[in-house]
Amino acid sequence: MALSTPPLLRVRDLVTSFRTEHGAVRAVDGVSFDIGPGQTVGVVGESGCGKSVTALSLLRLIPSPPGTIESGSIELRGMDLLRLTEREMRDVRGNEISMVFQEPMTSLNPVYTVGAQIVEAILLHQKVSRREAYDRTRELLRHVGISSPDTNVDAYPHQLSGGMRQRVMIAMALACRPALLIADEPTTALDVTIQAQILELIHQLQGELGMSILLITHDLGVIAEYTEHVIVMYAGRIVESGPVRQVLGRPRHPYTHGLMASVPRLAARKGPRDKQARLARLPTIEGMVPDLRHLPSGCRFADRCKLVIDACREKEPELLPVGSEEQFARCIRWQEVGA
């Protein structure tokens, strides 16, 4: 990813693996990307492709055992996070880099009020009194759209709706004004209306605070609406990356093209029967993601690809520029994709 200014976050050749009874499995395998100041980068792919493991690796939250970050570098403003002690890393989490998780009910402690949990995050990183922390917490709750913040500061997670709990998680993540916010499927458990509100809130707060965002999702509509740069992952690898308009407008990897083709589109329909027929013709990507314990020798997408040739199975393609210095794809037949 070419940036005119030094990147806020620079990830190079990140490898994260998990030990199983059948040997080590690389859930993230040689991932590299940059995030610039104030930039929004999206990561998209099927479940199990390595999106969330990449996010957890950035914060060094991989459970060990069985997980471990084998190699690579994660530099925040030139500081390699993988070389920090655990104590030094605790100063980074929540302060320099914060994360909003998929399901707030499992991320919030059910036996403490939401206000107490935000206050704890503030006191951990900021030299302020408890009273100042509570004042800031009420202001944060008001800022993220929580109704009656003076009352809800003393509410327990189960007393709030799903949308309000997610807003609390955002308030907690922004308590120390981080430079980077990682949003891992932040709207998965919410209905469509609340999803739009949460995403718009994150976008609005980014403009106010000037933070960078790593947005992880499986929704290409969200990627198109809220990100500037997109990373497409498959079986632990980045298979395509580049400016969102280029990647979604003219994908150069068969997997990205398959994802785009499988998105439902509005069309004129004559009646209920015609609607059912059109839905039945919705393209899908046939086959299954390869078993990470037994990866093929060549391209990891070869068994599901309609453009596969013998050369694809002999050697895994490298991630190289495809028609643009900003767009990259891991495919030897990129010129024929979407032709």
On whether residue 108 sits in a domain, the answer given is: yes
Give the residue with greater pLDDT, 310 vs 265.
310
Q: Is the pTM of this model over 0.75?
A: yes
Would you say residue 39 lies in a domain? Answer: no
Across the chain, what does the average pLDDT equal? 89
Query: Looking at the 3D structure of the chain, how many domains does it have?
Result: 1
pLDDT single digits (tens) 44-68: 998 889 999 999 999 999 998 899 9
Q: What is the pLDDT of residue 322?
A: 93
280, pLDDT greater than 60: no
Q: What is the pLDDT of residue 276?
A: 55
Domain presence at residue 328: no
Q: Is the pLDDT of residue 335 over 70?
A: yes
* Rg, C-alpha atoms of the chain: 21
**pLDDT single digits (tens) 160-186:** 988 899 889 999 998 888 999 999 988
- Rounded mean pLDDT, 231-251: 96
Alpha helices in the chain (DSSP H): 51-58, 86-92, 104-107, 114-125, 130-143, 149-152, 162-173, 192-209, 220-226, 244-249, 254-261, 272-280, 310-314
| Residue, of 240 and 325, whose pLDDT is higher | 240
Is 252 inside any structural domain? no
Domain assignment present for residue 329? The answer is no
pLDDT at 278: 53
Q: What is the pLDDT of residue 54?
A: 96
Q: Domain residues for 118?
A: 101-177
Residue 19 located in a structural domain: no
Residue 114, in any domain of the structure:
yes
In a domain, 33, yes or no: no
